[in-house]
């Protein structure tokens, strides 16, 4: 197994309040990047990107900071749109991922095997 951090269910649940704050900003920044990129493409012929260009950089910085925060904590961002994250963990000596999504009402309640992904999640 690799040396990446392994979470207990309790440790993953301790991260949920921070994720409830951070992940909506990730989604907004991602959507802002996409919208700014479209505006830049349309405006570049007229003014070099102008305000849309500055919006792009602002959204990019928010997204970069959030992704770095998650990486430093050992949390894997799987889907920025739905706020899906995985916490590397172990079960019976195997690597698994505790999974949580922003719209999950409580703490971490599911896991999936390394190759299964979100569709293969099972209750803890």
Tell me the pLDDT tens digit for each residue of 62-98. Answer: 899 999 999 999 999 999 999 999 999 999 999 999 9
Between 53 and 20, name the one with better pLDDT: 20
Asked if 83 and 26 count as a contact pair (C-beta separation under 8 A), the reply is yes
Instruction: Compute the CA torsion angle 107, 111, 115, 118 (nearest 10 deg).
Output: -50
Global pTM?
Answer: 0.82
Q: Is residue 1 part of a domain?
A: no
Give a yes or no: residue 2 inside a domain: no
Looking at the 3D structure of the chain, how many domains does it have? 1
What is the extent of the structural domain holding 99? 9-123
Confidence of residue 1 (pLDDT cuts 50, 70, 90): very low
The neighbour count for residue 111, using CB atoms within 10 Å, is: 21
Distance, in Å, from the CA atom of 43 to the CA atom of 40, rounded to the nearest integer, reads 5
Q: Is residue 3 part of a domain?
A: no
Task: For the chain, list the strands marked E by DSSP.
Answer: 76-79, 84-91, 94-101, 110-113, 122-123
Closest to 85 (Cα-Cα) out of 52, 118, 42? 118
């Amino acid at each position: 197994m690799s040396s990446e951090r392994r979470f207990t269910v309790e440790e993953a649940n301790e991260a949920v309040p921070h994720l409830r704050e951070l992940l909506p900003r990730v989604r907004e920044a991602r959507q802002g990047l996409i919208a700014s990129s479209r505006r830049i493409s349309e405006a570049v012929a007229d003014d070099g990107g102008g305000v849309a260009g500055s919006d792009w950089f602002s959204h990019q910085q928010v997204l970069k900071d959030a992704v770095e925060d998650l990486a430093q904590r050992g949390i894997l961002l799987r889907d920025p749109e739905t706020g899906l994250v995985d916490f590397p963990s172990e079960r019976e000596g195997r690597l698994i991922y505790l999974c949580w999504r922003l719209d999950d009402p409580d703490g971490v309640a599911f896991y999936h095997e390394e190759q299964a992904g979100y569709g293969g999640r099972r209750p803890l």
